[in-house]
């Protein structure tokens, strides 16, 4: 899935927000919270130990750019940023590593309704994509630019 997404003809359909040299940025189809985003290397590797310096460098810059973009658009109170490495650690797609960037608001676990095990978010993925894409592009140009 993470190998195919950046190749999609329609990036919006694939929820791809930005494509860099070694990695790309995508919205999570099953978000824990509004604007839950992921930074993913193009290479199909399962461990951080298999990422090279260039990949790690660009991915770090992308995390910074995503935090900047989400902050501008959504003004969250905080972020959870991290990698679930391996199935035992809760990785949904364990074979292709990815960094989660999840914005948090005070009390968001209370105000997000859970109906039938599905979280009901205050906006659709389409709306999030449209709002976030220009901000992510701008932040990446600013922050990751020198790496392209
Ligand atoms: Zn893959």
Q: Note the pLDDT tens digit of each residue in 61-102.
A: 999 999 999 999 999 999 999 999 998 888 888 999 999 999
Cα dihedral 64, 136, 13, 4 sign: negative
Q: Give the tens place of pLDDT for each residue, 99-131.
A: 999 999 887 765 555 555 656 567 899 999 999
- What is the distance in A from the centroid of ligand 1 to the CA of 82? 18
Confidence at 32, pLDDT banded by 50, 70, 90: confident
Provide CATH code, domain 5-141.
3.30.428.10
CA of 77 to the centre of ligand 1 (A): 32
pTM (two decimals): 0.91
Alpha carbon of 97 to ligand 1 centroid (Å): 8
Give me the helices (H) in the chain, please. Answer: 53-74, 108-111, 125-143
Q: Which burial class, exposed, middle or buried, applies to 142 when counting CB atoms under 10 A from its CB (0-12, 13-18, 19+)? A: middle
pLDDT of residue 114: 54
- 58 or 107: which leads in pLDDT: 58
Residues known to be catalytic: 98
Span from the CA of 109 to the centroid of ligand 1 (angstroms): 31
The ranges assigned to domains in the chain are 5-141
Q: Could you report the per-residue pLDDT of 3-31, keeping only the tens digit for each? A: 999 999 999 999 999 999 999 999 999 99
């Amino acid at each position: 899935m993470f190998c195919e997404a950046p190749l999609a003809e329609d990036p919006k359909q694939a929820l791809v927000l930005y494509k860099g040299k070694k990695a790309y940025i995508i919205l999570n189809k099953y978000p824990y919270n509004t604007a839950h985003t992921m930074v993913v290397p193009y290479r199909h590797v399962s461990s951080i130990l298999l990422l090279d310096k260039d990949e790690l460098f660009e991915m770090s810059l992308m995390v910074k750019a995503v935090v900047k973009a989400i902050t501008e658009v959504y003004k969250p109170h905080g972020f959870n940023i991290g990698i679930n490495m391996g199935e035992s650690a809760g990785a949904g797609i364990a074979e292709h590593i990815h960094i989660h960037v999840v914005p948090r608001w005070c009390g968001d676990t209370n105000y997000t309704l859970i109906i039938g095990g599905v979280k009901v978010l205050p906006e659709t993925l389409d709306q999030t994509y449209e709002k976030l894409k220009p901000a992510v592009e701008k932040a990446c140009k600013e922050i990751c630019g020198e790496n392209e």
